[in-house]
Amino acid sequence: MYRLMNRSHSHEGIRQACARGALVGLVLTFVALIGVFTAFATIYVVRGVLSLSQVLLALGPLLAGRAQKAGQRLSWREALAGGLSGVVAGTFVGLLALAVASVNMRAVLVNATPQLVRTLTFGLPLGLGVISLVGFGGLLGAAGAGWVHVPSRLRFSVALGLGTVVVLGALRQNGLAPVLAAVVLALVSGGAWLYKRQWQELQTSYELFRRRNESLLAVLRWPLALVFLLAVPYVLGTYGTSVLNLVGLYVLMGLGLNIVVGYAGLLDLGYVAFFTIGAYVTGLLTSPRSSLGVGLSFWAAWPAAMLAAMVAGVLLGIPVLRMRGDYLAIVTLGFGEIIRILVLSDSFKPILGGAQGIIEIPGPRLGGFQFVKPQHFYYLILLGCLLAVIVSRRLADSRVGRAWLAIREDEDVAEATGINIVKYKLLAFALGASFSGIGGAIFASWLHAIFPNSFTLLVSINILSLVIVGGLGSIPGVIMGALVLVGLPEVLRAFAEYRMLAFGALLVIMMLARPEGIWPAKRVREELRRG
Amino acid sequence: MATLEVLDIHSFYGSIEAVKGVSLTVEEGEIVTLIGANGAGKTTTLNTISGIIKPRQGRILLSGQDITPLPPHEIVALGICQAPEGRRIFTRLTVLENLEMGAFLRRDKDGVKRDLEHVFALFPRLAERRHQLGGTLSGGEQQMLAIGRALMARPRILLLDEPSMGLAPLLVREIFRIIREINAQGTTILLVEQNAHMALSIANRAYVLQGGRVVLSGTAQEIRHNPEVRRAYLGEVS
């Protein structure tokens, strides 16, 4: 009886190991067929030795072997199960290589190319390549199973070292030279091995230092942050600063949308409209080539841009006062599209320029000083963001903020409590729009030209995503969200079109793992923890 | 002079005329109850008084002043506050935050503080749970919170919509005891109830609603002994 149970137990184990391998094998097959391996084959992590696609290929069986439930210590059974998962995963990839090599599937699967076969089989002859795929799969699977049992200090240092090599190598043109890779691995792993304990000590001593000098740090915190923010463009250089400028514009708009969506709970999918209005008003008022031909300065134009956006916010707000949730989202979506189509339309072409947009928009000028370089605009954007942060903070803690909170939580009860729904909703729309209007004004004067295709629905979606990913209703969340959602894709440019794939996957994982956002507002965090 | 006068109001719920000419008065210091079956127009009447629904016809006077065209928040400011049906509270705010939200329109901080203590004295259970989220309270506690929040606006007239709904009999009795206490401390109460028995036991006067019209009115005593009411609403088998 016991033997029987034991056997069925191990059968179950074999079945599960195969299932894990098959799952990983399917994922790898999918990733291969959408062309990731072929593209990553030319991105070398270690020059001439290891490509990013090989790293990705190795990661599959490793994870498959790692995925099983680990016992107290490494048993032969666990290692075998891991190996089995790896073999199954390797077999899937091997079969894929065989299939692609023998049948021409390119009519349906564009990426099923001979090149893919070469990548998958490491450039070896087909038979040998498939055998080595299966063999390596088994070894890596077993290694994955054993990985859990490696002492944590060693595991941490090796993982950190390998991770550093992969990231540095992938971001560097042509990867790291083999010697350099070895040096980086040795330095990082060795350093982490030696200093893991010290690192913890360092953390505790910093903690002590912080506690002892709390009042001093409290005084110094803002000046230090300001000095840091002021110094950033000198460290980053021109390209880095223009990326940061883009992030800053999104922070400004994100803070505006955060008032509407995060504070007042009104889902707005057409937020780009106010950005468009801010940019076009600035363009019309400042460009000498515009139909108005008034040629005002930036400083005279931006308040007008802000006001125009506010008025538009109220105009949008009035018809949607009684709408909620999905209906509100659809109407605001339509509003965003209407504005974009208006600026693109032929009937307004004499005024707004149609598809040609507005050009020759002058940059701001202060006395004799002309804003030209991204670094100059950085300070302008920083100023806008700081103002937006201060306004947002003051509002959130005020009576107005409490009214928005009540409306967000339950509009009917808010009304019964005596809160003027109309007034506070319109206030949210107007204030939110005004931030975006300022953003549009800066955008127009920075690029010197604006075209309708800069103001698509995607901008609205990006802003909404960064507010949600960062943490609804949280000011630091908006900043983190903009850094991750706007900054990261720029940094990932090396990966060409696959950056959006990686980015999308990151978003999904992020929302599954941390639905409250990167840096959630205190209230939201508590709700999600308790709920 | 009557504190609250409702004169022949006609109100629509969507396209259905839910209230077809209701008139009633509530005097200072009274408990008046509106009883009737489901769909008789009780809640619509209450929502019309608090301004959430605008009547097609008819007027509502508060101490002689016409409040019919005013938006809900101004009506609250004039002293009519409603605890909505179905224990509507802010589920994701704490008990304390809910109560503070009830005092949104008031600017007398000391007065609000006193009233907060007063509400906590009326509902000791809320005091114990002041930092708990509204949504984690039991049904009875949520109803207490809804009433407490309405009280925080320091209303002259408190409108209560089905405070007994879905509560255990023991809790119903507790809630009604507190309603009587609130009234004894000087707040006029207009109470909508399906539990006619309980409502009539604490009210001074009552109106019976049927199909959007007042079919019967009088002192609670009279209504309670009306054979028609006894059969239809008090569950007496004849």
For the stretch A52-88, pLDDT in tens is 888 888 888 888 888 877 777 778 888 888 899 999 9
Q: What are the chain A neighbours of B149 within 8 Å (beta carbons)? A: 417
CB-based contact (8 Å) between A529 and chain B?
A: no
pLDDT at B126: 95
pLDDT at A189 over 70: yes
Residue A460: count other Cβ atoms within 10 Å of its Cβ: 25
Task: Judge whether A491 lies within some domain.
Answer: no
Tokens for B141, please give them.
């506690």
Residue of chain B whose Cα is closest to the Cα of A525:
B92
Question: Chain B: nearest CA to A513, how far in angstroms?
Answer: 22
Same domain as A104, residue A23:
yes
Task: Judge whether B183 lies within some domain.
Answer: yes
Same domain as A125, residue A51:
yes
**Contact at CB, B153 and A417, closer than 8 angstroms:** yes
Q: Which range scores top for mean pLDDT: A37-46, A135-144, A269-278, A323-332?
A: A269-278
Same domain as A192, residue A71:
no
Shortest CB distance from A416 goes to which of B72, B92, B135? B72
Average pLDDT over residues A41-59: 84
Task: Judge whether A498 lies within some domain.
Answer: no
Same domain as A161, residue A39:
no
**Euclidean distance between CA atoms B222 and B230, whole angstroms:** 11
**Euclidean distance between CA atoms A510 and B44, whole angstroms:** 46
Question: Chain A: nearest CA to B195, how far in angstroms?
Answer: 24
Shortest CB distance from A419 goes to which of B84, B92, B104? B104
Domain final residue, candidates A430, A445, A463: A463
Domain count, chain B: 1
**Euclidean distance between CA atoms A529 and A527, whole angstroms:** 5
Question: Chain B: nearest CA to A418, how far in angstroms?
Answer: 4
Which A residues in the span 419-438 are in contact with B, Cβ-Cβ below 8 Å? Answer: 419-422
Task: Judge whether A520 lies within some domain.
Answer: no
Q: What are the chain A neighbours of B156 within 8 Å (beta carbons)? A: none
Task: Judge whether A412 lies within some domain.
Answer: yes
Which residue, chain included where needed, has tokens 């605009």? A377
**Euclidean distance between CA atoms A473 and A476, whole angstroms:** 9
- At A39, is the secondary structure helix, strand, or coil? helix
Task: Judge whether B85 lies within some domain.
Answer: yes
Shortest CB distance from B105 goes to which of A409, A413, A418? A418
**Euclidean distance between CA atoms B116 and B94, whole angstroms:** 14
Residue A531: count other Cβ atoms within 10 Å of its Cβ: 10
For the stretch B28-78, pLDDT in tens is 999 999 999 888 999 999 999 999 999 999 999 999 999 999 999 999 999
CB-based contact (8 Å) between A187 and chain B?
A: no
pLDDT at A399 over 90: yes
Same domain as A432, residue A293:
yes
- Sequence-ordered list of residues with C-beta below 8 angstroms from that of B202, at least 6 positions apart, any chain: B31, B33, B176, B179, B180, B183, B191
Which range marks the domain in which residue A62 is found? 8-149
Residue B20: which H helix or E strand, with range?
strand B16-26
**Euclidean distance between CA atoms A473 and A527, whole angstroms:** 13
Q: What are the chain B neighbours of A414 within 8 Å (beta carbons)? A: 101
Domain count, chain A: 3
pLDDT at B179: 96
Cα angle B189, B191, B196 (rounded to 5 degrees) comes to: 140
Q: What percent of chain A has pLDDT over 90?
A: 39
pLDDT at B22 over 80: yes
CB-based contact (8 Å) between B56 and chain A?
A: no
* Phi, psi for A510 (deg, rounded to 5): -55, -50
Question: For A196, left (φ over 0), alpha (ψ -120 to 50), or beta?
Answer: alpha
Task: Judge whether B99 lies within some domain.
Answer: yes
**Euclidean distance between CA atoms A61 and A81, whole angstroms:** 12
Angle between helices A421-447 and A298-317 (to 10 degrees): 140
- Letter string b/e over residues B110-133, b meaning 16 or more CB atoms within 10 A of that residue's CB: eebeebbebbbebbeebeebeeeb
* pLDDT bracket for residue A531 (50, 70, 90): very low
Compare A283 and A146 and report the one with higher pLDDT.
A283
Tokens for A485, please give them.
């959602």
Same domain as A161, residue A140:
no
CB-based contact (8 Å) between B133 and chain A?
A: yes
Q: Choose among B136, B135, B195: nearest CA to B160.
A: B195
Same domain as A157, residue A118:
no
Shortest CB distance from B50 goes to which of A399, A416, A530? A416
Tell me, yes or no, if the pTM score tops 0.80.
no
Residue A254 near residue A482, CB atoms below 8 Å: yes
Q: Choose among A19, A132, A12, A40: nearest CA to A84.
A: A19
Which range marks the domain in which residue B72 is found? 4-232
For the stretch A253-264, pLDDT in tens is 999 999 999 999
- Letter string b/e over residues A266-285, b meaning 16 or more CB atoms within 10 A of that residue's CB: bbbbbbbbbbbbbbbbbbbb
**Contact at CB, A406 and B104, closer than 8 angstroms:** yes
Q: Choose among B210, B231, B196, B224: nearest CA to B41.
A: B210
**Euclidean distance between CA atoms A417 and B97, whole angstroms:** 13
Q: Choose among B83, B52, B225, B55: nearest CA to B164.
A: B83
Question: Chain A: nearest CA to B217, how far in angstroms?
Answer: 28
| Beta strands at B4-13 and B16-26: parallel, antiparallel or unpaired | antiparallel
Q: What are the chain B neighbours of A415 within 8 Å (beta carbons)? A: 52, 72-73
Question: Chain B: nearest CA to A512, how far in angstroms?
Answer: 22
Same domain as A256, residue A109:
no
Task: Judge whether A217 lies within some domain.
Answer: no
Question: For A323, left (φ over 0), alpha (ψ -120 to 50), or beta?
Answer: beta
DSSP A276-331: HHHHHHHHHHH-TTSSS-----HHHHHHHHHHHHHHHHHHHHTTTTT--HHHHHHH
Mean pLDDT of chain A: 86
Same domain as A199, residue A122:
no
Same domain as A182, residue A138:
no
* pLDDT bracket for residue A31 (50, 70, 90): confident
Tokens for A245, please give them.
């400028």
Task: Judge whether A28 lies within some domain.
Answer: yes
Cα angle A33, A501, A487 (rounded to 5 degrees) comes to: 155
CB-based contact (8 Å) between B139 and chain A?
A: no
Enter the ipTM. Answer: 0.90
Tokens for A188, please give them.
């990082």
**Contact at CB, A402 and B101, closer than 8 angstroms:** yes
- At A183, is the secondary structure helix, strand, or coil? helix
pLDDT at A352 over 60: yes
Shortest CB distance from B101 goes to which of A417, A421, A526? A417
Tokens for B30, please give them.
């009274």
Task: Judge whether A343 lies within some domain.
Answer: yes
Residue of chain A whose Cα is closest to the Cα of B105:
A418
Same domain as A341, residue A252:
yes
Task: Judge whether A113 lies within some domain.
Answer: yes
Residue B32: which H helix or E strand, with range?
strand B31-36
Angle between helices A214-257 and A457-470 (to 10 degrees): 150
Domain final residue, candidates A428, A463, A498: A463
Task: Judge whether B238 lies within some domain.
Answer: no
**Euclidean distance between CA atoms A188 and A166, whole angstroms:** 12
- At A149, is the secondary structure helix, strand, or coil? coil
Same domain as A287, residue A206:
no
Tokens for A317, please give them.
């707000």
pLDDT at A514 over 90: no
Question: For B235, left (φ over 0), alpha (ψ -120 to 50), or beta?
Answer: left
Task: Judge whether B237 lies within some domain.
Answer: no
**Euclidean distance between CA atoms B216 and B221, whole angstroms:** 13
Residue A68 near residue A20, CB atoms below 8 Å: yes
Shortest CB distance from B77 goes to which of A403, A418, A422? A418
Residue B134 is part of a domain; what is its CATH number?
3.40.50.300
- Letter string b/e over residues A412-431, b meaning 16 or more CB atoms within 10 A of that residue's CB: ebbbbbbbbbeebbbbbbbb
Which residue, chain included where needed, has tokens 């990231």? A167
For the stretch A82-127, pLDDT in tens is 899 999 999 999 999 888 888 888 777 777 788 888 888 888 888 8
* 3 state SS for B132-158: CEHHHCCHHHHHHHHHHHHHCCCCCEE
Question: Chain A: nearest CA to B161, how far in angstroms?
Answer: 12
**Total residue count of chain A as it appears in this document:** 531
Cα angle A314, A319, A320 (rounded to 5 degrees) comes to: 90
Question: Chain B: nearest CA to A389, how far in angstroms?
Answer: 24
**Contact at CB, A421 and B82, closer than 8 angstroms:** no
Domain final residue, candidates A443, A463, A483: A463
**Euclidean distance between CA atoms A451 and A488, whole angstroms:** 25
Beta bridge partners of B13: B16
